[in-house]
């Protein structure tokens, strides 16, 4: 078995989140992107969004709130803790947030991976000189197949579920 060089993985910052690309879409002919995501309290995308790739999260440390649209179009709030695995089907409105008071670490796989990797790299470049304008981020997301689906609903309009 060949040695794997883990020292060359790209570490990117998108907002307050740190994303380390572990397996790139280039290494898999676009089939997937695998990344480690470190999310501080308050981290994560600010709004519900949709994209074609599926996502699978495995939480390593901390806690994440995962908002995802169900089959009936209602948004559910799932709370994931260490060792929980959550699948988000492509095309579903969703967002992931760290609503706790401690850092969270998760491993995420997107399939296919090309569009999501393109977005993450472009977003990191855009934020390189400071916080980008919201209009610039929205335009960038649209160019990479990410469509905004609205704000996260208020707590009283969603159902909450723990994963275990």
- 114-126 and 134-143 are packed helices; what angle lies between their axes, rounded to 10 degrees? 160
Q: Which residues contact 86 (CB under 8 A, 6 or more apart)?
A: 56, 57, 59, 66, 78, 80, 163
The pLDDT-based confidence of 157 (bands split at 50, 70, 90) is low
Q: Tell whether 108 is covered by a domain.
A: yes
36-81 confidence digits (pLDDT tens): 999 999 999 989 999 999 999 999 999 999 999 999 999 999 999 9
List, for residues 108-135, the tens digit of each pLDDT value: 999 999 999 999 999 999 988 888 888 9
Q: Is residue 97 part of a domain?
A: yes
Residue 1 has what pLDDT? 40
Residue 126 lies in a domain: yes
What is the predicted pLDDT for the residue at 46?
86
Tallying the residues shown for the chain, one arrives at: 164
140 lies in a domain? yes
For residue 102, being part of any structural domain is answered with yes
**What's the CATH number where 61 sits?**
2.60.120.10
- How many domains does the chain divide into? 1
Is 1 within a domain?
A: no
Q: Which of 77, 47, 51 is nearest to 64 (CA)?
A: 77
Q: Which tokens hold the place of 106?
A: 């998760």
* DSSP 8-state code for residue 46: S
Long-range contacts of 4-11 (CB under 8 A, 24+ apart): 10/121
Residue 4 burial (10 A CB sphere; 0-12, 13-18, 19+): exposed
pLDDT at 130: 84
* 85 assigned to some structural domain: yes
The answer to whether residue 57 sits within a structural domain is: yes
Closest CA to 104 of 61, 140, 139, 134: 61
Query: What is the band of 142 on the pLDDT scale with cuts at 50, 70, 90?
Result: very high
Residue-range definition of the domain harbouring residue 15: 6-162
What per-residue confidence (pLDDT) applies to 145?
Answer: 97
Contact 20, 35 (CB under 8 A): yes
What would the two tokens of residue 110 be?
Answer: 């997107």
């Amino acid at each position: 078995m060949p040695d794997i060089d883990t020292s060359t993985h790209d570490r990117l910052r998108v907002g307050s989140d740190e994303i380390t690309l572990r397996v790139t879409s280039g290494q898999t002919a676009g089939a997937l992107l695998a990344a480690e995501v470190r999310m501080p309290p308050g981290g994560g995308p600010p709004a519900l969004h949709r994209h074609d790739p599926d996502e699978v999260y495995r939480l390593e440390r901390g806690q994440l709130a995962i908002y995802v649209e169900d089959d009936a179009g209602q948004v559910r709030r799932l709370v994931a803790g260490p060792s929980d695995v959550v699948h988000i089907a492509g095309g579903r409105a969703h967002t992931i947030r760290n609503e706790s008071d401690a850092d969270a670490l998760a491993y995420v796989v997107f399939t296919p991976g090309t569009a999501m990797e393109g977005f993450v790299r472009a977003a990191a470049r855009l934020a390189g000189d400071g916080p980008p304008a919201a209009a610039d981020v929205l335009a960038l997301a649209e160019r990479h197949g990410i469509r905004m689906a609205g704000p996260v609903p208020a707590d009283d309009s969603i159902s909450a579920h723990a994963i275990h």
